[in-house]
Amino acid sequence: MGYYNSSEPKKKRSGYFASSFTGLIAGALLVGVVLPGFTDNEQATESAVNGTSTTEASNNVQNVSHIVTTDVTETVEQTSGAVVGVSNLQKAQLNPFMPAAESEAQEAGVGSGVIYKKDGESAYIVTNNHVVEGAEQVVVTLADETELEAEVLGTDAWTDLAVLKVAGDKIETVAEFGDSSVLKAGEPVIAIGNPLGLQFSGSVTTGVVSGTERLIPIDINQDGKEDWQSEVLQTDAAINPGNSGGALINSQGQVIGINSMKIAQDAVEGIGLAIPINSAIPIIEDLESKGEVQRPSIGVGILDLNDIPQQYRESELNLPADVEGGVVVQSVADGSGAAKAGIKAYDVIVEMDGEAVNSVMELRQHLYNESEVGDTLKMKVYRDGKIQEFTIELTESL
């Protein structure tokens, strides 16, 4: 998951008299404002009269220090310590004559993570699946540059989330989760992470919520076909490679999204995407406690009806000509809910629980978002040109 890839010269002013007059007024006003400076000049003149050189007095120049504190700086200060760097280390066998076991682990990628929990001697971090994918070792870098070896408790490719566990004795800041369901377009947000790696660790960008409940197609197995639609938040806060897994926070310092990707196209500017925290929380809980996300399964191998040439729809599937969408059953797993219900190969699924099913993606969305293991599912399928109804008990994915 993830889609990566000088000032102008001043113009001459017109109206010399008007400018001079305006400057005179401004100068008069400044007399009442810049008192310290003028007071120093008066002291310098007085020193010259008393025998002290004007040059010596004017050398006493002082810098004025003013600490700027805003809502953003305060929010970042209380939250940034919970955002960490996540390094994906993999062994690279540079010498073909050296055994793989003796090759050193090297940094294959860097992302970000959010410390969301501290329990006893351990602390827990959420990041993106693609940040730690393929890692043989994961190292977490805290805000003070302390490095901790992390254990990957679980990953989930469908939601692009992963949970890590580290020793908690050096963890001081833990992020607070907010409520992403109440976000509104235009609401200010802050992104914290490590764009381009640890060289720019703890970078802060600001923006607004550009949109909620955006659906982005995802190709999970990289076969060129869309397998899933991920619901994300859209923001114009800059999100770059390395920000993945970092925090998108609201004005209260609460995490309302896990930064995940950006759309990088020549014609696109300022479209960053984050996983809503309300969607992420149940996944995080499953990964922390079970190491995986338990999703319901029918127990069939399937493909889109649109991938079947028209001639085979008629000759092999015996479908009526007006059936344009559906899911074709390729195979049925022994002992699965589908097998027990009587589903067979070449059945064409067109409806589930009263909702039309036009594609594999729609079937998955219904199963994963609206059903749980143990639920019963009513299904309508075409078999030999006729509609049949089945009731299937959903089991855990095989």
Please give the Cα distance from 220 to 227 (Å, whole number).
Answer: 6
Is 78 within 8 Å of 56 (Cβ atoms)?
Answer: no
Strand ranges (DSSP E) for 157-277?
161-167, 188-193, 203-218, 228-235, 247-249, 255-262, 272-276
User: 42 by DSSP, 3-state: which?
Assistant: helix
Instruction: State yes or no: is 160 an active-site residue.
Output: yes
Instruction: State yes or no: is 230 an active-site residue.
Output: no
CA distances from 74 to 77, 252, 259 (A): 5, 10, 21
Is 333 within 8 Å of 352 (Cβ atoms)?
Answer: no
Length of the chain equals 398
Please give the Cα distance from 157 to 163 (Å, whole number).
Answer: 12
Q: Tell me the Ramachandran region of residue 196: left when phi exceeds 0, alpha when psi lies from -120 to 50, beta otherwise.
A: left
Cα 57 from chain centroid (whole Å): 57
Instruction: State yes or no: is 7 an active-site residue.
Output: no
Q: Which of 244, 260, 297, 336 is catalytic?
A: 244
Q: Which of 160, 236, 286, 347 is catalytic?
A: 160
144: Cβ contacts below 8 Å, ≥ 6 apart: none
Residue 152: CB atoms within 10 A of its CB come to 18
Is 243 within 8 Å of 180 (Cβ atoms)?
Answer: no
Q: Which of 130, 210, 260, 336 is catalytic?
A: 130
Is 216 within 8 Å of 159 (Cβ atoms)?
Answer: no
The residues carrying an active-site annotation are: 130, 160, 244
